[in-house]
Chain A
Amino acid sequence: MRTIRFLLQKEFLQIFRDKGMLPIIFLMPLIQLLILGNAATYEIKNIDIYIVNQDRTPVSRKLQDDFLSTKYFTISGYSSQISEAKKSVQEGKSDMILIIPRHFERDLMNKRFDKLELLFNAENGNAASVSQTYAVSIVQRFTRQWEQNHPSLLPTKPQKLINIDTVNWYNPDLDYSSYMVPGILVILVTMIGMFLSGMNIVKEKEVGTIEQLNVTPIKRYQFIIGKLAPFWILGLGELAFGLLAAWIIFRIPMVGSLFLVFFVAAIYLLVVLGLGLFISTLTDTQQQAMFIAWFLMVVFILMGGLFTPIESMPIWAQKITFFNPIAHFIEVMRRVLVKGAHLSDIRYQIMVLASFAVVIISLAVSRYKKVSA
């Protein structure tokens, strides 16, 4: 026990003595949380619309104003030439074109309407389909108002038969930060855990101090505990710090129990640290360790369901995500914080994470040898 205490003391001294690392450990995550929490939104705003108005009547101007009076559209150009508009899209200056054809008002009187065109730059398919929904609903509102002002044109009113009521549970304002921020916290904790622990032992190898440790009477388990415990504590501290910051800055919901969050985090960190340790047993240089850690990190992040839903992946990719610890912990964070899940709702994730922890740590421990090759 005494040995472990001294080892811990040594590790903490090493971490806190390094003035360059401290800001990386505490400041960097805060900045990232601020930036990424605000950046990660699928909400589509400021759609640049190019308006081609060949009609130039009060009616067409009304439709045009209907578009510009919403917060979604900002005008990027206006002319009567379609070619000008297309050029603007090609240059990337406009996201969509609204073409109001000649005789628009006359066509409306004849109940013909099919010449109105909406053209989108669909490079970003998701953004284009959201913009389309906004645009179509504006056109529909316009025609509804127009019909109401010209009741003579309408034989009988179409009947509204089905009443559709929509409810958004857990997040009625469709606020992206309460979806993204819990996930980003997971990433930050993982980065610290995996990289610091991964690099730590390799650094001792590279610098040569590992030999000194190897010749001491420290037992293998003591060494491993001494190496992992500081980062485990640091990781949990980082999570507490991050949650506090997220609560202050983004007002993210905390519906479920924080105790449950930390309980799962404690298991999750074991997986992450175990992975870091495992990587460090596989490699000889910090460069290699970093590359592997980095590669895993990118795979974990992009396939963790943080930015794009796991359900949208092909089935085989969904199966792969079973092995992604980040995916499980992100799921837990979201369920507990946003939806208020209980222990019984997340017992599957806890079991998976716990078995990962056992497997990876035993693998790492069995690979670590007290002799240098």
Chain B
Amino acid sequence: MNSFIGFVKKEFYHIIRDYRSLIILFGLPIIELILFGYAIRNELTSAKIGILDQSNDHVTHQITDKILSSGYFELYGYFQNTKQVDKAFRDGSVREVIVFGRKFSKKLGDGQHADVQLIADASDPNMSRMLIGYTTSILQNYERSIQPPGQHSLLSVVPEIRMFYNPELKSVNLFVPGLIAVILMLVSALMTSITITREKEMGTMEILLVSPLKPIQIIIGKVIPYLVLSFVNVLMVLGMALYIFHVPFRGGFFIFIMESMLFTVTALSLGLFISTTSTSQQKAMMKALAGLLLPTIMLSGFIFPVTSMPKILQWFSVIIPARWFLVIIKGIMLRGVGITYLWKQTLILAVMAVTFLAISMKKFKTRLD
């Protein structure tokens, strides 16, 4: 036991002495959360639009004003012909162009149809969908406002719509919990993924192997220091989420901490697993990078909803720990649910952690070859 404590101490010294790694361990989460917490948004704000007005009368001016004052759009400029439109799309100056047909107000007055064309740059499909949606609803509102009175139909009655948990539809409430998962995964798995490979590469592994420490003690001793440091990270990140980004926290504090620690253990054991199966730091890093970073960002439901993916990927996402952790922390933070709703995800994470630890233990060679 004494030798084990000594080993854990040694690991601590290793980490703390290396100030560059320490900066990474604590600085990286802070910088990332601040940067991404503010920068990762997918709401529509001040999209650049152009206007091609073939009527140039008071009605089209009025509609243009309405569109520009909505806050979603910003005027890039007026176009005279479609050739300019093409050029502006290609060099990325505008996202949408609104084309008013000829004799707009005259046609309206005569009871004919006036024509508007909305051209969106659909090379970004999500953006173009939002742009067209917003512009259409502004135009429809205008149309409704000029209807003769007494002609309202059922169509003008909208069903009551309520948005639970995030009534303002702020993307930050979704992305900050996601970032917590990504950051914990990154720091924990990355850190451990190279610890054992490094000893192998540096040759110090031999010294560890001839010591009276058992493999299980070596592995656990490698994990403990990172677990402690990650705990500090969890608190830090949570504090920032609450006090800087004002993400709602409706659930229990204790369960949040416990679940975060469980996820950290899973991430650490994943890192260990990579570490024991790689022969060089470079390989371990590439594996961790390709195998953890992108899948955690893309397949966990952090940005893209899992249920919209092809079935095969949905099955695949089952093995990504962050996917389950995201369900858990979104549940705790946004929906305020407790363990009775989350036991399944918790169990899955626990099984993953145990499995990876067991495999690492088995793969951990006590001999050099």
A residues at B contact (CB < 8 Å): 20-21, 24, 28, 32, 35-36, 38-48, 89-92, 95, 108, 111-130, 132-133, 136, 139-140, 143-144, 146-147, 154-172, 174-176, 178-179, 187, 191, 195, 199, 203, 206, 283, 285-288, 290-292, 294-295, 297-299, 301-303, 307-309, 311-314, 317, 320, 331, 334-335, 338-342, 344-346
**Cβ of B147 and Cβ of A158 under 8 Å apart?**
yes
Residue pair A123, B128 in contact (C-beta under 8 Å) = no
Chain B interface residue count, Cβ-Cβ cutoff 8 angstroms: 119
Residues of A within 8 A of B115 (CB): 162-163, 165
List B residues 38-79 near A (Cβ within 8 Å): 38-48
**Cβ contact within 8 Å between A179 and B125:** yes
The stretch from B138-146, B217-225, B355-363 touching chain A is: B138-146
Residue of B108, B167, B285, B316 with most partner-chain A CB within 10 A: B285
Task: Return chain B residues, CB-CB under 8 Å to A165.
Answer: 115-118
Query: Are A287 and B161 in touch, CB under 8 angstroms?
Result: no
A317-B39, A341-B90 given; name 16 further pairs at CB < 8 Å. A38-B312, A39-B299, A39-B309, A125-B43, A136-B158, A136-B159, A157-B153, A158-B147, A158-B153, A162-B114, A165-B118, A291-B28, A298-B293, A302-B39, A303-B40, A313-B41
Q: State whether A90 touches B290 (Cβ < 8 A).
A: no
Can you list 27 A-B pairs with a CB-CB distance of less than 8 A?
A: A20-B278, A32-B290, A42-B125, A46-B307, A95-B307, A115-B160, A120-B161, A120-B163, A123-B330, A132-B161, A143-B154, A162-B108, A164-B136, A164-B139, A164-B140, A166-B136, A168-B125, A169-B123, A174-B129, A291-B24, A294-B285, A295-B28, A301-B297, A302-B39, A311-B45, A338-B123, A346-B91
Q: Is B122 an interface residue (CB 8 A)?
A: yes
Instruction: Give Cα A129–Cα B133 distance, bound, in whole angstroms.
Output: 11
Contacts of A39 in B (CB 8 A): 298-299, 304, 309, 313
Q: Can you list, as one digit per residue, whether each of B273-306 has a CB less than 8 Å from chain A (1) or not (0)?
A: 0000011111101110110011101110001110
Q: Are B186 and A154 in contact (CB under 8 A)?
A: no
User: Across chains A and B, which 4 residue pairs bring their CB atoms closest together, nearest first?
Assistant: A125-B169, A168-B122, A122-B163, A174-B125
| B160 contacts A114, C-beta separation under 8 Å | yes
Contact A309 B42 (CB under 8 A): yes
Inter-chain contacts of B173 with A (CB < 8 A): 123, 125
In Å, the complex CA distance between A313 and B45 comes to 8
